[in-house]
Amino acid sequence: MTPEPPVADNSHYRWTVLVILTLVYTFNFIDRQILVILQEPIKLELGLSDAQLGLLTGFSFALVYVTAGIPIAWLADRSNRRNIVAASLAFWSLMTALSGLVQNFAQLLAARLGVGIGEAGGSPPSHSMISDYFPPQHRGTALSFYSMGIYVGILFGYAAGGWIAESFGWRTAFFLVGIPGIAYALLVFWIVKEPRRGQWDEGGTPPKSSFKQTWDCLRQRPTFWWISIGCAFSAFIAYGNGNFMPSFLIRNHGMSLTEVGLALGLIAGISGAVGTFLGGFLADKLGARDVRWYLWIPIIGGLGSLLPAYYTLLGDNKILIIAAMVPAQILSTLYLGPCIATCHNLVSPGMRAMASAILFFVLNMIGLGLGPLTVGLLSDTFAAPFGEENLRYAMLTTLTISLVGVFFLWQGVSRLRADLDANTAESARI
């Protein structure tokens, strides 16, 4: 009897699933970034400091996000990943809606912790499913397409959130972005099918791997850790400076909440989506000749983004500042798709959700956890010597740290081929 063809053989359907999962990721970042555009009116009403804002948008959120991600990824490597994604989306959307009811810092913190727990179940299972829907030579493109959800979410979160908050209040903004996600979770459950694990990989369906097995495998893949730390410091800048950019434009350039939301939404959303997709597309094309392009692309992007990024913080012409954000955003977002695809290619199919969770643990603890908190603490510290320029100098200080991320990615280049060959040999033995 001829075996049933894998679900991934249906090209139309796997792209449909990819779009659906990308929209889940879009909801993820709408719900995550809505707080960023709303932090000025929230700060005013609840009497918060910049350090408290950094805790809300960064460290406290990241702590539960990455901690919950490990056990959820363990479950995803053993059970139905579609169900995990749908349930997680419904939960974090509910917690976003409840954020509109808070009366103080502690209540808002509790609600955002709930959002973090829910969002932990989004990406690792989705990454794993996408790698089972798409063959290795197309994973960079597919995972970059998925990662575009970050910037589509930022676009809607900024643009819609700023307008809604200025027109109807920040509490209404939380309600209007949270409730639709609950309905979309039902759509995910009804349409998305669980793919067969490892259907594009040699050896067929892989054995289930424990956390220890995955950890032991990754300990033998130095490239994974170079990539993880490199991505973490790239995210450190993206989250640190990105989360405070609305406040910077409002405080230092006198822009309104609606103006900031629309400008940053369009720039961060469209430019970020273009850069993210372009990174994976170029990596797949150039990587077919030399796999090291999967890391060279992020390195080139990280270095190229520095000059326009510095201008956005040092310039005094609002039009030119906004214009400089476009190349800075495109170049700084090239890294994510190629890096995720490379990390998946370093482990067996049965380890991919856990590998994604560990990657995101490192990335988010350093990037999301420490980035906004560092900028907030520096801003409060610089208030005395620099006055109203405190936030500008805080963001300039952290921007230079992006060179650390480039250094670690460069370290990964030298070991990449050897670690990929080691995984191929190990998979053949299983």
| 229 has a pLDDT exceeding 60 | yes
Selection from 11, 32, 143, 5 nearest residue 372 by Cα:
32
Domain count, the chain: 1
Fill in the DSSP letter of residue 335. Answer: S
Give the tens place of pLDDT for each residue, 338-376: 998 898 889 887 788 788 878 988 988 898 888 888 998
Quote the pLDDT of residue 428. Answer: 58
Q: pLDDT grade, residue 5 (50/70/90)? A: very low
C-alpha angle 114-119-124 in degrees, rounded to nearest 5: 145
Quote the pLDDT of residue 430. Answer: 54
| 6 has a pLDDT exceeding 90 | no
Whether residue 314 is contained in a domain is answered as: yes
Within 8 A by CB and 6+ apart from 144, the residues are 276, 277, 278, 279, 280, 281, 283, 336, 337, 338, 341
- For residues 176-204, average pLDDT: 84
Q: pLDDT grade, residue 423 (50/70/90)? A: confident
Average pLDDT of every residue of the chain: 87
Whether residue 1 is contained in a domain is answered as: no
Quote the pLDDT of residue 207. Answer: 57
Q: pLDDT grade, residue 186 (50/70/90)? A: very high
**Alpha-carbon span 259 to 249, nearest angstrom:** 9
Q: pLDDT grade, residue 2 (50/70/90)? A: very low
Whether residue 2 is contained in a domain is answered as: no
pLDDT top residue among 99 and 3: 99
- For residues 149-162, average pLDDT: 84
Give the tens place of pLDDT for each residue, 136-146: 888 888 888 99
Quote the pLDDT of residue 3. Answer: 35
Containing structural domain, residue 118: 7-429
Whether residue 302 is contained in a domain is answered as: yes
Q: What is the dihedral of CA 349, 272, 170, 90, to 10 degrees?
A: -20
Give the tens place of pLDDT for each residue, 232-285: 999 999 888 988 898 899 889 988 888 888 888 888 888 988 998 899 899 989
Quote the pLDDT of residue 208. Answer: 62
The three state secondary structure string of 77-142 is: CCCCHHHHHHHHHHHHHHHHHHHHHCCCHHHHHHHHHHHHHHHCCCHHHHHHHHHHHCCHHHHHHH
Please report the sign of the dihedral spanned by the C-alpha atoms of residue 367, residue 370, residue 374, residue 377.
positive
Quote the pLDDT of residue 231. Answer: 93
Least confident of 41-50, 52-61, 94-103, 386-395: 52-61
Whether residue 164 is contained in a domain is answered as: yes
**Cβ-based neighbour number of residue 83 at 10 Å:** 17
Give the tens place of pLDDT for each residue, 39-53: 888 988 999 888 888
Q: Which two tokens stand for residue 15?
A: 């792209």
Give the tens place of pLDDT for each residue, 98-111: 999 999 999 999 99
- For residues 181-200, average pLDDT: 88
What is the Cα Rg of the chain in Å? 21
Does the pTM surpass 0.85? The reply is no
CATH number of the domain bearing residue 395: 1.20.1250.20
C-alpha separations of 118 from 19, 146, 178, 272, 420 in Å: 20, 18, 12, 24, 33
**Cβ-based neighbour number of residue 354 at 10 Å:** 28
